[in-house]
Amino acid sequence: MESNRSGLFVYYRWLVLLLASGLCLFPLWATFIGGFKSTGDLRTNAFGLPREWITDNYVSIATGARFWQMLGNSAFIAFVTVVLTLLISSMAAFVLAHLHFAGKKWISNYLALGLTFPFATAVLPVFIRVRDLGLLDSYWGVILPQVAFNLGFAVVLLHGFFSELPNELFEAAFVDGCGYTRMFWQLTLPLSRPILATVGVLALIGSWNEYLLPLVMINSESLYPWPLGIMQYQGQYGTDWGKVLAFVSLTLTPALIFYLLAQKHIIAGLTAGAVKG
Amino acid sequence: MALPTDPRSPGPKRPPVPTLTSNVQQGLPSLAEARELEVMLGARPSLWRRLQDFSGSSQMRACLLFLPPALLIFTLFVTWPVVEAAYYSFFNWNGYGAPSKWIGLENFLRVLNDPIFYHSLFNNLLIVLVSAFIQVPIALALALLISDKSRSSVIFRAIFFLPYILGEIVAGLIWRYIYDGNYGVVAVICRWFGQQAPEVLATEGWATAALLLVIVWKYFGFHMALFVAGRQGVGYDVLEAAKIDGATRWQSTLNIVLPLMRPVIVLSLFFSILGSLQAFAIIVALTDGGPSNSTHSAVSYLYNFGIKRMRVGFGSAIGVTLFIVCVLVMVFYKRLFMRPKEGR
């Protein structure tokens, strides 16, 4: 009896999981395969393989300069954002974790304020600030506010991790005459790779997918990151869905490859980041 | 937003207990150790003493080098703009020149008298409700099925998490295609049954439901991953004991596992609220707030009626209102559900 019920459970478990996976993956499948279909094919055949494989959409996008330019823009913005976020937040977190001075608590609470409200509430003044600094319509107009808004969660996560590093190490280094700057570079950072990876992945995915900030800050098409580029492309080709679907499929490929390569770390990092942040 | 019951969260920090054995042999304790001794004995060094220690030390150099970049950039782009938003919200200003046309609370009155604003906030509430009553239960059920370490579970987790890492714009466009009344998947399915496909995204009510479905699709994997982490945190020993006592799988899940996972469920709902308050790009890509402004969220309302038209004063008033809503919601939620423990 017990084994029979257990067998039934296993059966239902697989049924539910496969069904859910299908619902989860189907939109992606339809998009990918839709890029190969003619409009007539799209109208009648949403689920199956194309009756006639049309590669024009994919080829013309992948050989065009526009696609690579916008991916390049996104990559540059994301890369600099990640590096600056890691550098600036880990330096601040190091001071907060290892040095003792008046007002320390106040500073760490101040930086944690960044966690309490969405970026959009302040986007207009940020726009005016960026404009007054002369950074409008440049990569930096996106990068600097992005880094600033990352600092809240980054400092909280790093501060927590840094405080748990074994104190004996730092005492030993101190006794040996190691200054704080060297301690930071040669002790803290190498020991903190897991948390740096977590913060880095959070910042990377956030920046790669960011839409509102570049929408407000960037005007020139040549500087468009992919979310802007893809919306513009969609506006241009409207319901020529074959083209749009091919474009969507190609733009999500880098994220997909990155995810397949580091899937375990990404899931662990994003959830751990969420729980501790 | 630290998970209050996370045992790993650092409690109050204790000063390290210095060991003076080595220095007893060497004679006088070093300067640093003398200070540590003061700390140990509970003596509070004078302010002058502390300044003396601090200045010129490697400690101060690290402070002066390491802290300012974060404080500067954070103040410049995060906190100061919020203060400025509060200031701008009292003006009728298009962003050029200096704000000069003081109109008092008129911007706020216009926000608070705009039915579209309330409808947007209502949509935010809908997102939270759908998350609480549909998304979270689905995510929880799936998480309980795949929280073990078997290979199939790892693969299923990767599949369910996948939509979460996609950009909101991509998710919105994919579903815009699926809902398309002419070329979309919905249209194809309708034709199978000989029906004329409805323009889902152009029909009030349906468009909102469609948006909610996309949100569930995109974000349930994130909640699932939280629950998997929570389930693994509970461990399996308790269940062994329950099994020996004759509890069925269902009983032990309901009476043991779920209560133990309460903190994670609370956290997951917290993220639903947070995410709802930030929902923007997915709406732009899917419906752009239409039809007739029925699918706006708070942020897309802000974008459409403030930023797009460069009404800085009005937009700032929306921003400030949204800020107040956020802070109130967060504070209340934390007070009500997240029990503070020792430490943070």
Domain CATH code at residue B127? 1.10.3720.10
User: Shortest Cα distance from B205 to chain A (angstroms)?
Assistant: 22
Q: Is residue B61 in some structural domain?
A: no
Q: Which chain B positions have a beta carbon within 8 Å of A208's beta carbon?
A: 167
Kindly list the residues from chain A whose CB atom is less than 8 angstroms away from the CB atom of residue B332.
none
Q: Establish if B74 belongs to a structural domain.
A: no
Mean pLDDT of B67-87: 92
Residue B6's pLDDT band (boundaries 50, 70, 90)?
very low
Q: How would you classify residue A54: left for phi > 0, otherwise alpha for psi between -120 and 50, otherwise beta?
A: beta
Helix (H, G, I), strand (E, B) or coil at B91: strand
Contacts of B54 in chain A (CB under 8 A): 101
Q: Specify the pLDDT at position A46.
A: 79
Tell me what pLDDT residue B37 has.
62
Q: Evaluate whether A120 touches B280 at the Cβ level (below 8 Å).
A: yes
Is a pLDDT exceeding 60 seen at residue B26? Answer: no
- Residue A218: what pLDDT? 94
Query: Mean pLDDT score of chain A, rounded to an integer?
Result: 89
A105, amino acid identity:
K
B36 belongs to a structural domain: no
Chain A: nearest CA to B239, how far in angstroms? 16
In angstroms, the separation between the Cα of residue A230 and the nearest Cα of chain B is 8
CB contacts of B76 in chain A (<8 Å) are 129, 144, 148
Kind and range of the H or E run holding B101: none
Max CA distance (Å), chain A: 76
Domains, chain A, ranges and CATH?
2-56 (no CATH), 68-276 (1.10.3720.10)
* Shortest Cα–Cα distance, A241 to chain B (Å): 7
Contacts of B5 (CB under 8 A, 6+ apart): B263, B339, B341
Neighboring chain B residues of A263 at a CB cutoff of 8 Å: 158, 161
**B307 and A9 in contact by Cβ < 8 A?**
no
- Greater confidence (B33 vs A222) lies with A222
Which residues in chain A have Cβ-Cβ distances shorter than 8 Å to B82?
117, 121-122, 125
What count of CB pairs under 8 Å joins A to B?
291
B327 falls within a domain: yes
Percent of chain B with pLDDT over 90: 43
Q: How far is A110 from chain B (nearest CA, A)?
A: 9
Tell me if the bond preceding B291 is cis, omega within 30° of 0: yes
Q: Summarize pLDDT for A202-240 with one digit per residue, the tens.
A: 899 999 999 999 999 999 999 999 999 999 999 888 778
B154 contacts in A (CB within 8 Å)?
A: 264
Task: Verify whether the Cβ–Cβ distance B188 to A47 is below 8 Å.
Answer: yes
Chain A contact for B324 (CB, 8 A cutoff):
no
Q: Look up the pTM and report it.
A: 0.85
Q: Is the pLDDT of residue B238 over 90?
A: no
Q: Is residue B52, in this structure, part of any structural domain at all?
A: no
Do B327 and A89 make contact, defined as CB atoms within 8 angstroms? no
Chain B residues near residue A92 by CB distance under 8 angstroms: 66-67, 69-71
The answer to whether position B313 is within a domain reads yes
**pLDDT computed for residue A147 by the predictor:** 96
Predicted-complex ipTM score: 0.91
Confidence of residue A171 (pLDDT cuts 50, 70, 90): confident
Q: Does residue B71 register a pLDDT over 70?
A: yes
Higher pLDDT, B23 or A139: A139
Report CB contact under 8 Å: A148, B302: no
Instruction: Answer yes or no: do B16 and A145 touch at CB < 8 A.
Output: no
Nearest C-alpha in A relative to B315: A124
Residue B23's pLDDT band (cuts 50, 70, 90): very low
Contact: A46, B189; criterion CB under 8 Å: yes
Q: What does the pLDDT read at residue A238?
A: 79
The larger pLDDT score, comparing residue A191 to residue B36, is at A191
Q: Distance, in angstroms, between B150 CA and closest chain A CA?
A: 13
Q: Cβ distance B242 to B318 under 8 Å?
A: no
SS (H, E, C) chain A: CHHHHHHHHHHHHHHHHHHHHHHHHHHHHHHHHHCCCCHHHHHHCCCCCCCCCCCHHHHHHHHCHHHHHHHHHHHHHHHHHHHHHHHHHHHHHHHHHHCCCCCHHHHHHHHHHHHCCCHHHHHHHHHHHHHHCCCCCCHHHHHHHHHHHHHHHHHHHHHHHHHHCCHHHHHHHHHCCCCHHHHHHHHHHHHCHHHHHHHHHHHHHHHHHCCHHHHHHCCCHHHCCHHHHHHHHHHHHCCCHHHHHHHHHHHHHHHHHHHHHHHHHHHHHHHHHHHHC
**A227 → closest Cβ in B169, B185, B312:** B169
**Contact by Cβ (8 Å): A113, B78:** yes
- Cβ–Cβ gap A30/B146 under 8 Å: no
Give the span between the Cα atoms of A156 and A116, in whole angstroms. Answer: 13
Q: How far is B105 from chain A (nearest CA, A)?
A: 18
In the structure, what pLDDT confidence band is assigned to residue A271 with cuts at 50, 70 and 90?
Answer: confident
Count structural domains, chain B: 1
The pLDDT of A80-86, averaged and rounded, is 97
Q: What is the pLDDT of residue A192?
A: 92
Q: Select the residue of A30, A101, A115 nearest B185 (Cβ to Cβ).
A: A30
Region of poorest pLDDT, from A71-75, A114-118, A128-132, A145-149: A114-118
- Asked if B73 and A147 come within 8 Å (Cβ–Cβ), the reply is yes
* Each residue's pLDDT tens digit, B122-159: 999 999 999 999 999 999 999 999 988 889 999 999 99
> In this predicted structure, what is the pLDDT of residue B38?
62
Residues 6+ away with beta carbon under 8 Å from A9? B249
pLDDT on residue A41: 85
Domain span including residue B200:
109-337
Q: How many residues does chain B have?
A: 344
Beta-carbon separation of B277 and A263 below 8 A:
no
Q: Does A109 or B35 have the greater pLDDT score?
A: A109
Confidence at residue B22, expressed as pLDDT on a 0 to 100 scale:
44
Given an 8 Å threshold on Cβ–Cβ distance, is B81 in contact with A277?
Answer: no
In this prediction, residue B342 carries a pLDDT of 36
Residue of B16, B67, B185 lying closest to A167 (CB–CB): B16
pLDDT of the residue at B135: 95
Rounded (10°) angle between helices B262-278 and A241-276:
130
Task: Determine, yes or no, domain membership for B188.
Answer: yes
Overall average pLDDT of the B278-301 stretch: 92
8 Å CB contact of A17 and B142: yes
Residue B287 burial class via C-beta count within 10 angstroms: exposed 0-12, middle 13-18, buried 19 and up: buried
Subunit contact A21:B156, Cβ cutoff 8 A: yes
The answer to whether residue B20 scores a pLDDT higher than 60 is no
Min Cα distance B85 → chain A (Å) is 6
